[in-house]
Amino acid sequence: MPLRSGTPVGLEVWIDAYLDHLRVERCLAANTLEAYARDLGALTAHVGADVEPSSIHPDALASLMVENTRQGLAPRSSARQLSALRGFFRFLVRERAIAHDPSTILMRPRIVRKLPRVLSFDEVERLLAAPDETTERGRLHSAMLNLMYASGLRVAELCSLRVSDIDLQRGLVAVRGKGGKRRLVPVGEVALNCVVRYLQMKKVRRVRLPKETTLFVSPRGSGRFTREGFWKMVRRYAVSAGLFPLPSPHKLRHSFATHLLRGGADLRSVQAMLGHADLGTTEIYTHLCADDVRAAHTKSHPRA
């Protein structure tokens, strides 16, 4: 942490201190920290790494936003950068490095919120049936796909699960989400059975599975199943199942939430299962369901 003495401290030093704060005190994920470092690095490139934060005027931040637009940066990316800047300057105010936050007058770029594409229930069934469970690799892939759809996990959460995180008796999975936050998510019987068959295969091979062992390891047993490996696996099974356009792994999470709401689940429960800090993030799935209601009304009502 930079000293609060009268010695001037440059912008780059404060950014390093802020990133340390995010990593140590807020326990943000490595990918999130990289995004913050990239967004704040754009500020140092714009005003200079050695500039004192107290000398940064709102006009300098506004010109950075204008430069983003000129270079063709997407509104969503520009809004994310603005969020990083606001968090950084709030940190500086709290540390008494500056008296006033220069980012408060900046307007957030308008973002047209795109509805996520979800798989139909039939498409999900075809995807989940694609792995050949007569093989070791097929059992592993089937367990991962079924568990992800049954619990709505993020890919990183799925790949980082340990054996002790699965409660087969109560049908629960303990998930460590963003910021290290823990949550319990119920898992259906079908997905649990797939996990059991996968674990039984491991026992047949006499592979020791301590409670702290990573649940899903690569088929060769060389280490944890990676996000990239899971992405490639999903795309490969999507091709064999005839799903086009090819879905990303995250589509299973979108489909999980949408299918729950279509089935009558309340929004707060879905928010808890997804691990969303803000209910507004979950509400996007209600728009997808509203489209279904509108389509049903148009098809069925005599005066639609």
Q: Which residues are catalytic?
A: 154, 178, 250, 253, 276, 285
- List Cα–Cα distances, 258 to 33, 157, 185, 236, 276, in angstroms: 30, 19, 16, 24, 14
Whether the CA torsion 142, 143, 148, 150 is positive or negative: it is: positive
Q: What is the DSSP letter of 224?
A: B
Residue 111 token pair: 């973002």
CA end-to-end span of the chain:
64
Q: Which residues contact 257 (CB under 8 A, 6 or more apart)?
A: 152, 270, 273, 274, 282, 285
Q: Pick from 1, 91, 96, 108: which is nearest to 40 by CA? A: 91
The whole-angstrom separation of Cα 2 and Cα 243 is: 54
**For residue 87, what is the enclosing H or E element?**
helix 75-94
With beta carbons less than 8 A apart as the criterion, state whether 248 and 116 touch: no
Q: Pick from 177, 186, 188: which is nearest to 276 by CA? A: 177
The whole-angstrom separation of Cα 34 and Cα 37 is: 5
With beta carbons less than 8 A apart as the criterion, state whether 97 and 9 touch: yes
Q: What is the DSSP letter of 214?
A: B
Q: What is the DSSP letter of 165?
A: G
